[in-house]
């Protein structure tokens, strides 16, 4: 029974990877120059049991920056608290890039904008786990709304993709 469950999970993971690579394969990677050339420490904190976070990590490494480190944690809430991520902005994983956080399945176009413009904010977030976003299965059902989290903890809509 355990082998069958493991096989099914493996097949699902491979399907998710295929969706990600085919969905985002036509993007102009040169437009992600700020992400590709980012030299500070980059870390994705995720749960070891979360498949979508693993797919997002693969997407980030293949389309963004292969130098990013992935850390599996039991207590992600400690990271979210440490970086001041409001509970309404939380998702299933947190990426730290220099002095910024990127919360959730944020497309690399938004991360590139963050690193290019260098706004005076704590970070950006796309709360929840929107269908069709990087790492998530399914079709995109509407705009991806990315929020800027200000230094005082408030947040405002930052961009739509």
Query: Which pLDDT belongs to residue 27?
Result: 41
pLDDT score of 35: 73
pLDDT at 107: 93
Dihedral sign for Cα 50, 65, 132, 23, please. Answer: negative
The reported pTM is 0.77
pLDDT, mean of residues 83-87: 96
Residue 32 pLDDT class (50, 70, 90 cuts): low
**pLDDT over 70 percentage in the chain:** 78
> Band of the pLDDT at 124, cuts 50, 70, 90?
very high
106, 85 Cβ separation under 8 angstroms: no
Cα–Cα nearest to 34, from 126, 100, 108, 105: 108
1-5, 17-21, 134-138: least confident range: 17-21
The token pair that represents 119 in the structure block: 């706004």
pLDDT at 41 over 70: yes
* Rounded Cα distance, 78 and 91, in Å: 13
Q: Render pLDDT for 4-26 as a digit per residue (tens, 0 to 9).
A: 665 555 555 545 544 444 444 43
Per-residue model confidence (pLDDT) at position 157: 97
Greater confidence, 135 or 17?
A: 135
Distant-in-sequence, close-in-space partners of 104: CB < 8 Å, separation ≥ 6: 90, 91, 92, 93, 125, 126, 127, 128, 129, 133
Task: Convert the pLDDT of each residue in 55-76 to its tens digit.
Answer: 888 888 887 777 888 999 988 9
Average pLDDT, the chain: 82
In sequence order, which residues have a C-beta less than 8 Å from that of residue 128 and are 6 or more positions away? 91, 104
Residue 140 has pLDDT above 90, yes or no: yes
Residue in 81, 78, 113, 114 with CA at minimum distance from that of residue 99: 114
């Amino acid at each position: 029974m355990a082998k069958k469950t493991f096989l099914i999970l493996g097949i699902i993971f491979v399907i998710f990877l295929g969706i990600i690579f085919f969905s985002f394969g036509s993007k102009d990677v040169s437009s992600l120059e700020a992400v590709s050339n980012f030299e500070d420490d980059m870390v994705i904190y995720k749960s070891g049991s979360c498949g979508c976070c693993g797919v997002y990590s693969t997407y980030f490494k293949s389309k963004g920056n292969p130098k990013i480190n992935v850390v599996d944690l039991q207590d992600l809430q400690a990271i979210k608290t440490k970086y001041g991520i409001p509970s309404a902005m939380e998702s299933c994983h947190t990426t730290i890039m220099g002095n910024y956080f990127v919360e959730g399945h944020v497309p690399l176009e938004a991360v590139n904008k963050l690193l290019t413009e260098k706004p005076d904010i704590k970070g950006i977030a796309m709360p929840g786990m929107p269908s069709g976003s990087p790492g998530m299965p399914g079709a995109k059902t509407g705009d991806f709304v990315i929020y800027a989290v200000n230094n005082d903890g408030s947040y405002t809509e930052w961009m739509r993709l």
